[in-house]
Structure 1
Amino acid sequence: MNDYRELFRLDGRRAIVLGAGSGIGRESAYALAAHGATVVCADVNLPAARETASAIDAEAREVNVLDTEGVQELAAGLGVIDVVVLTAAMNVRKRLLDYSRAEFDKVVALNLGATFDVVRAFGAGMVERGRGSIIGFSSIRGSVVEPGQSVYAATKAGLVQLLRTAAAEFGPSGVRVNAIAPGVVETPLTAQIKSDPEWYQAYADKGALGRWAQPSEMAGAVVYLASDASSFVTGAVLAVDGGWTAVDGRFDPPGGA
């Protein structure tokens, strides 16, 4: 009989969190370490990465995921990595007719281009070793949109298909690749919405739970996809959205009908 008490343990595994300096990345690093993993906290902001690392006795590394060669050098220098978590993302909230090509390129480069580089750089070693788990962050915007979310939504949908393809290609070697799709989470990325009380409440009311998520509420999904609890899960998109996509477009008829 399997010892299910150990199902979520990550003892003896080495993980890297890219974007560990704040928000979901920081909480992911904390959670992975709490379950026994040795964690490398990587971020373009090295002091922030060090702050995260100091709380869990981890290693901190500076990396700009927009630097293809830098990502490749980091992967080569770290050696064996069993779990990769990538949280770095950006959004420019503008309607299409107000968008510039430079803004388009900037969002695509970070949200999609960096994922391409990270998957290739770290996936190569995993495929060679015959094991590993890669976890990327999509969004509810990968499947449902609203005005002003065009390029962000496109990159998050593209990220899903990129990770699914990696899952198909790496799967025969024993490497799993999955995406997490958060709803509205209180992070620096959503500061524009949070600053407007009416907008903030409208987003809270949209989901089934009637509130925003905290970054820590994404950590359980990260641990699950990193661990043997998800040993037969690959090419999946795990929605952690408070029911947003389940009730998208909901309407409460008057009189409880």
Structure 2
Amino acid sequence: MDYARLFRLDGRRAVVVGAGSGIGRESALALGAHGAEVVCADRDEAAAAGTAAEIERGWALGLDVLDAGAVERAARDLGDVDALVFTAATNVRKRLLDYTPEEFDRVTGLNLRASFDLVRAFGAPMVRRGRGSIIGFSSIRAFSVEPGQGVYAATKAGLIQLLRTAAAEFGPSGVRVNAVAPGVAETPLTAQIKNDPAWYDAYAGKTALGRWAGAEELAGAVVYLASDAASYVTGSVLTVDGGWTAVDGRYDPPGAGC
């Protein structure tokens, strides 16, 4: 075993959906830095092109994942894909009684239905070739909810079960499927919270490390799951949350205690 090259991705093609910004962008850059050819896909093709320009073997693809036909065409036209990473998601922060059916459809449509389409479109040729890695982004909200996050949390919990089922179904063909569950990370999706100092500090205080993650701190998980370092890892959820789920609900009593 050449452990020095365990994380290298030379000669492999990765597709990153959501590569125009945030975690998707950093994931694409990290995969490229480890030798992969990276297709930077995003609804905002100009943003995807900006990411691709920073990768030696990177190129951009305009892709609206809400268009199932476009997803199928992309999977067909791209040919052999060794790794699929998808990060695109949306959230409407409202309590359940305030939600509209249109908002429900918008959140579930992008977070769950589009994920279903991506897994099927890119997973089928991987199964036929007998290799590949699929990495979808869930969230700690799949396990730990708060008021106003119900629909988002439901989609992220559903995504984990979708990916675990894909792992079971695709595994006999040599295809691995895993989820990454971030905690609070500074991305465009969390801009509303970042701009509220009280909210920002409260979330930072929920973690063991006492801070938010930078989007780049999620990229290592993606490289790991895409590489041979994770050759026996499938059906797993890699939580990258600064210890949030380990200490959620903690109480630090005064004094020594026991």
Q: What TM-score range do you get, normalising by the shorter chain?
A: over 0.9
- In the alignment, what sits opposite 1:91? 91
Aligned runs of 1:120-131 on 2, under 5 Å?
120-131=120-131
Structure 1 unaligned residues grouped into runs of 5+: none
Report the Cα distance in structure 1 between the residues aligned to 2:226 and 2:47, rounded to whole angstroms. Answer: 23
Instruction: Tell me the matched-pair count.
Output: 256
- In the alignment, what sits opposite 2:77? 77
**Which sits farther off after the overlay, 17-26 or 246-255?**
246-255
**TM-score scaled to structure 2, two decimals?**
0.98
Deviations 1:108-127 (A, max 9, x none): 00000010000000000000
- In the alignment, what sits opposite 1:203? 203
Report the Cα distance in structure 1 between the residues aligned to 2:134 and 2:79, rounded to whole angstroms. Answer: 15
Report the Cα distance in structure 2 between the residues aligned to 1:157 and 1:236, rounded to whole angstroms. Answer: 13
Report the Cα distance in structure 1 between the residues aligned to 2:195 and 2:98, rounded to whole angstroms. Answer: 22
Aligned runs of 1:161-180 on 2, under 5 Å?
161-180=161-180
Aligned runs of 1:203-242 on 2, under 5 Å?
203-242=203-242
**SS of corresponding position for 1:126:** helix
Structure 2 unaligned residues grouped into runs of 5+: none
- In the alignment, what sits opposite 1:17? 16
Report the Cα distance in structure 2 between the residues aligned to 1:127 and 1:100, rounded to whole angstroms. Answer: 39
Report the Cα distance in structure 2 between the residues aligned to 1:256 and 1:22, rounded to whole angstroms. Answer: 45
Report the Cα distance in structure 2 between the residues aligned to 1:161 and 1:64, rounded to whole angstroms. Answer: 24
**SS of corresponding position for 1:51:** helix
Report the Cα distance in structure 1 between the residues aligned to 2:64 and 2:182, rounded to whole angstroms. Answer: 23
User: Which runs of structure 1 show a deviation greater than 2 angstroms over 4 or more consecutive aligned residues?
Assistant: none
Report the Cα distance in structure 2 between the residues aligned to 1:253 and 1:91, rounded to whole angstroms. Answer: 35
- In the alignment, what sits opposite 1:51? 50
Percent identical? 72
- In the alignment, what sits opposite 2:148? 148
**Is 1:33 aligned to 2:36, yes or no?**
no
- In the alignment, what sits opposite 2:115? 115
**TM-score scaled to structure 1, two decimals?**
0.99
**SS of corresponding position for 2:213:** coil
Report the Cα distance in structure 2 between the residues aligned to 1:192 and 1:59, rounded to whole angstroms. Answer: 31
**Is 1:184 aligned to 2:184, yes or no?**
yes
Report the Cα distance in structure 2 between the residues aligned to 1:101 and 1:256, rounded to whole angstroms. Answer: 51
Equivalent position amino acid for 1:225 in 2: L
**SS of corresponding position for 2:239:** strand
- In the alignment, what sits opposite 1:246? 246
CA RMSD across the alignment:
0.6
After TM superposition, give the deviation of residue 255 of structure 1 in Å: 2.0
**SS of corresponding position for 2:246:** coil
